[in-house]
A and B are shown apart, each in its own frame.
Chain A
Amino acid sequence: MNRELLKKAIEGDELSVSRILTKIEYFSEEGMEYLEELSARAGRAYTIGITGSPGAGKSTLISTLIDHYTKEGLKVGVVMVDPSSPFSKGSFMGNRIRMQDKTMNKNVFIRSLASRGFLGGVSAEAIMLIEALDGLGFDKIILETVGSGQTDTDVVSVVHSILVLAIPGSGDEIQALKAGIMEIGDFYVVNKADKPEAEALYDSIKFAIESGETFWRDGWKPQVVKVSALKGMGIEELTKRLREHEEFVRGGGLFEKRIVERRHKLIELYLRRKLEAVLEETLKENKTTLSEYESKGINLNKAIREVYERFKQRI
């Protein structure tokens, strides 16, 4: 580990911060040593997760939140995850485009991250970067998930407050009642609320929340807020309620609890990555075996069992 680099990063030198984050996101030995040090200093930042379907306005909303928090004199770190290609493993990350004007603000650090095979909207890397930014003294850390589908709910164990963005015209009341992403929000933010369909969406989500208490996270009744991130409409109301939620979290002893959950999730996702690798190897190794089974007329059930046995052995 380069102590000098770490010292400079802690003092706020952006390039040093950035280079350390890269070491960490690639799980390098040196990176894990930095993470160790920074994790020991972490546990102070308030973390906010933003999720919602592609094009819901997550990045644009983050841009307005950055404005709000930097005006209060806070240091804001942003980690944004965009999908990696299942084919080339490359990534086209375009989230920054909505907040490029914040790049020059010395109290803002924005980092894009490719999902690198993680499903669920959040990656082990993303959690490690949050941990590191926390240790580096950022006051607020905002996590933007991959544009989510209905089951991308990993963010629930990672942050203090969760905002689920919904956009008008994207479905009826039935969608609001479904399991998955519509169960995880501390806030459901109806973005693009200047559209005529916004009222109906607002009512649908409201109805879903009112119809049961199951998904009140730690006793917090989820709220629905209408905003237009692009036009700045409703942002003041949203940040006011976010502050109330933060008070609720801090007052109810949930602040530390969620940091512990985040660390558990990191370990879980790390294990899943390792498991994934074993899985891939097993499948590769058994390709010929499986086709032999077919040609020799041995049934699929038997094939599955045998491959499973080898999978277990590999682990």
Chain B
Amino acid sequence: MEKRIKVIVAKLGLDGHDRGAKVIARALKDAGMEVVYTGLRQTPEQIVKTAVQEDADVIGISILSGAHLELVPRVVEFMKKYGLNDVGLVVGGVIPPQDIERLKEMGVDEVFLPGSSLKEVVEKVKSVASRKRGIKVES
């Protein structure tokens, strides 16, 4: 059977705004992916542990609190600690453009700013899954 891309969509940290994350999760579902939605206020370690148990191909983080430079590195740290070196990490939310490079240097594969189209998100998640996990995706 053909492997489906499995994605965790999680809200990181103290941030109660989940509409965007739900819209993204739904778009990924509509693109044929199997999405595990964790809900609000997840700690970095919780998110990584979830990805471990679910054997996710990509972790998608939504963060609108402004704490991305504090919390995303913690996610990366735990991914290393738990051995998820081959798992993709994408981050979306209210992120100042000047932070994109810093996030990517930390190990984030893709960053989505407000206004990103769902099509772009889907395509990039697919290409991350393909690059990191070798999953074949139809173009």
Report which A residues bind B (CB closer than 8 A).
14-15, 18-19, 21-22, 26-27, 84-85, 87-94, 96-97, 100, 103-104, 109-112, 114, 116
Contact = CB atoms under 8 A, between A and B. Distances in A.
Nearest to B82: A15
Contacts of B53: 14, 18, 103, 109-111
17 contacts: A15-B83, A18-B54, A26-B1, A27-B1, A87-B30, A88-B30, A88-B31, A90-B28, A90-B30, A90-B33, A91-B33, A92-B29, A93-B35, A100-B38, A100-B50, A112-B54, A116-B1
A116 B32 CA distance: 11
B103 interface: no
A96 B50 contact: yes
B60 to A, nearest CB: 13
B34 A15 contact: no
Contacts of B1: 26-27, 116
Interface string B14-56: 0000000000011011111111111100100110011011110
Given A90-B35, A92-B26, 16 more contacts: A14-B52, A14-B53, A15-B52, A88-B32, A90-B28, A90-B32, A91-B29, A92-B29, A92-B37, A93-B35, A94-B37, A94-B39, A96-B50, A97-B38, A100-B46, A114-B34
Contacts of A97: 37-39
B8 to A, nearest CB: 9
A110 B37 CA distance: 13
A20 to B, nearest CB: 9
A-B pairs, 6 with minimum CB distance = A97-B39, A90-B29, A18-B55, A92-B29, A22-B55, A90-B32
Nearest to B27: A90
A104 B29 contact: no
Nearest to B22: A92
B92 to A, nearest CB: 17
A271 to B, nearest CB: 15
A90 B36 CA distance: 11
A111 B52 CA distance: 10
A112 B1 CA distance: 18
Nearest to A90: B29
A73 B15 CA distance: 34
Contacts of B30: 85, 87-88, 90
Given A27-B1, A96-B50, A104-B45, A89 B32 contact: yes
A93 B31 contact: no
B36 A19 contact: no
Nearest to A100: B38
A18 B46 contact: no
Interface in B36-87: 36-39, 42, 45-46, 49-50, 52-55, 82-84
A114 B37 CA distance: 13
Contacts of B52: 14-15, 18
Given A88-B31, A90-B29, A112-B54, A100 B37 contact: no
B4 interface: yes
A84 B84 CA distance: 26
Nearest to B40: A97
Residue of A19, A27, A110, A112 ringed by the most chain B CB atoms within 10 A: A112
